[in-house]
Structure formats: structure tokens, C-alpha cells
Amino acid sequence: MKIMITQQEAMQRKIWDDIIQMFGLEKDKDYWENEQFILTEEQARRVGLIR
């Protein structure tokens, strides 16, 4: 299973820092609010999106 989340949704759920770390992104760089990130089931569990 793959889970998609946007930058805006990640910010709202307060998991943006986790997403930055998972994908090796730069914290100081600007990202589009609707930019999508695809998480594996394991990654989604790790950040609390699914149980």
C-alpha cells in the first residue's frame, strides 16, 4: 500500500519535519503546498498516518 500526502497536509498534521527527514529534503528550501510525497505503508505507520 502507498500513502500520498501533500506538504500542506503534513504541516497540518505536524509531521512535516518527519517527511523532510524521510525524503532527505532541505529544511530551509521552499516546497509547494500541493507537492505530493508517496509513503510506504511502513513510513505511514511510523509517522502515525495509519495504524
Domain boundaries, given as residue ranges, for the chain? 1-28
Q: How far apart are CA 33 and CA 42, in angstroms?
A: 24
Q: Give pTM, 2 decimals.
A: 0.85
Half-sphere exposure of 46 (CA within 13 A, CB side): 11
What confidence score (pLDDT) does residue 17 get?
96
pLDDT digits (tens, 9 = 90+) for 9-46: 999 999 999 999 999 999 999 999 999 999 999 999 99
Q: Three cell numbers at 4?
A: 500520498
Longest dimension (CA), the chain: 31
> Across all residues in the chain, what is the average pLDDT?
95
- The residue among 51, 45, 49 whose CA lies nearest residue 12 is 49
